[in-house]
């Protein structure tokens, strides 16, 4: 079973694609895919760029679902 992350949930709630997030964050779409699927842990700069693109605090997007 795939893990549901807050980042995946946020994209789903917004109806936003990983391609759109990649464009808004300036990150490569394949990197976004790896992050979304839990195969890559983003560094602090990448986390900040994603949070900025989503206009959400980083801690809200990269913490575990409870």
Residue 23 lies in a domain: yes
CA dist 65 and 4 (Å) reads 8
pTM above 0.85, yes or no: yes
CATH number at residue 49: 1.10.260
Domain count within the chain: 1
Residue 37 lies in a domain: yes
Residue 64 lies in a domain: no
Range(s) of the domain holding residue 36: 6-56
Tens-binned pLDDT, residue by residue, of the chain (66 aa):
467 789 999 999 999 999 999 999 999 999 999 999 889 999 999 999 999 999 999 999 988 755
Residue 19 lies in a domain: yes
Q: 34 exposed, middle or buried (CB, 10 Å; 0-12, 13-18, 19+)? A: middle
């Amino acid at each position: 079973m795939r893990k549901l992350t807050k980042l995946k949930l946020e994209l789903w709630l917004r109806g936003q694609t990983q391609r759109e997030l990649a464009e808004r964050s300036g990150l490569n779409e394949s990197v976004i895919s790896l992050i979304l699927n839990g195969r890559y842990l983003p560094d602090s700069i990448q986390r900040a760029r994603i949070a900025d693109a989503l206009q959400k605090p980083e801690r809200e997007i990269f913490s575990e679902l409870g």
